Amino acid sequence: MLRVGVMVSGGGTNLQAILDAVEEGRITNVEIEVVISNNPGAYALERAKNHGIEAVCMSPKDYETRDDFNRAFLEKVDEYHLDLIVLAGFLVKIPEAMVEKYEHRIINIHPSLIPSFCGVGYYGLKVHEAALARGVKVTGATVHYVDGGMDTGPIILQKAVEVQENDTPELLQRRVMEQAEWVILPKAIDMIANGMV
């Protein structure tokens, strides 16, 4: 059984896609041990509790320095002996020490086809605003391993989504989530759990 921790900052729609996939048997050999959020108001924490999963809030704001937070965060994560950490819309930079310790065991979902519209400053709606401003005809989502850079780790899966004529950033974001993110993130977890990556 792969011990998985999911980290989320907001509503947790990707978390829900993972939970649904586990329940429906599309993800096998996985136990979701914990959901961690930096945001006490994140609905993702409720989703976790509703599924009997431990929900933890740890915010950098609660610590005097970023180093203090990074240390406490890594200690908390270590408590769960995780085989895989899934960043599902987690808007906190992962401490370098954690990236090193959990090398090749942290994955992230990004709402574009990397290397387009990724890196510093590209998150949430900003990604879709940039894609529309550039006039791309195809966008999508990418699941990749986390390394020391920002959205630079090895790619596991990508899925393309068509941009439509009258798209707004919000419409495009929704379509990318429904057609790409919620499909490839559970699939990547299942592949890792079953030795296919």
Own/partner pairs, 93-98, CB within 8 angstroms, 24+ separation: 94/146, 95/70, 96/148, 97/70, 98/70, 98/73, 98/74
144 classed as catalytic: no
Average of per-residue pLDDT across 175-189: 98
pLDDT score at 170:
98
pLDDT score at 156:
98
pLDDT score at 158:
98
Domain residue ranges of the chain, discontinuous segments joined by +: 2-193
Label residue 85 by pLDDT band (50, 70, 90): very high
Label residue 48 by pLDDT band (50, 70, 90): very high
- Residues 51, 81, 104, 110: which is the catalytic one? 110
To the nearest 10°, the Cα dihedral for 94, 143, 51, 174? 110
Say how many residues make up the chain: 197
Residue 54: strand pairing partners: 34
pLDDT score at 125:
95
Whole-number Å distance between alpha carbons of 74 and 71: 5
Class of domain 2-193: alpha beta
Average of per-residue pLDDT across 131-139: 97
Whole-number Å distance between alpha carbons of 110 and 88: 9
Please write the tens of the pLDDT for every residue from 91-101: 999 999 999 99
